[in-house]
């Protein structure tokens, strides 16, 4: 599924993201999650609220799906996602599609635990 925001001034693409099914393992706990990826706002629409609106729509979708959301991001984006009610998960052993991953993993809604020995996600997104 893809979420797209068009700028009301002429229907120009302003922002988008995709949401896919991913299988995740957090230590011994396995769960099907909504993977949020490719969160993008066009350069000329940055810092105009489109990113927050997009993430609110994603959060609503995740809440209705009654599954946790998961996203992967670089450290410079952690604060943005925290403002969108996402929480960083911590682990020193993270694998995405069988490969080591060394950046942030975030979730919405918040898990009871945010520190894990091992996080594995079956595919990149």
pLDDT bin (cut points 50, 70, 90) of residue 3 is confident
**DSSP string across 8-65:** TTTTEEEEEEEEEEEEEEETTEEEEEEEEEEEEE-GGGTTTTHHHHHHHHHHHHHHHH
Q: What is the pLDDT of residue 116?
A: 97
Separation CA 83–CA 70 (nearest Å): 15
pLDDT tens for 54-94 read: 999 999 999 999 999 999 999 999 999 999 999 999 999 99
Separation CA 125–CA 23 (nearest Å): 12
Given the structure tokens 């604060």, which residue do they identify?
Answer: 79
pLDDT surpasses 70 at 8: no
Q: Which of 122, 112, 113, 116 shows the shortest CA–CA distance to 91?
A: 116
Q: CB atoms < 10 A from the CB of 71, how many?
A: 24
Strand partners, 19: 36
């Amino acid at each position: 599924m893809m979420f797209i925001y068009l700028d009301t001034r002429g229907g120009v693409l302003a922002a988008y993201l995709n949401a896919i099914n991913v299988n995740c393992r957090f230590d011994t706990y396995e769960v099907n999650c909504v993977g949020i990826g490719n969160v993008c706002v066009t350069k000329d629409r940055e810092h105009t609220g489109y990113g927050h609106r997009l993430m609110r729509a994603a959060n609503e979708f995740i809440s209705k799906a009654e599954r946790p959301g998961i996203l992967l991001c670089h450290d410079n984006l952690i604060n943005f996602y925290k403002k969108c009610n996402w929480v960083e998960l911590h682990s020193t052993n993270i694998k995405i599609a069988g490969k080591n991953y060394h950046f942030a993993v975030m979730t919405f809604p918040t898990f009871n635990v945010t520190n894990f020995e091992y996080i594995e996600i079956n595919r990149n997104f």
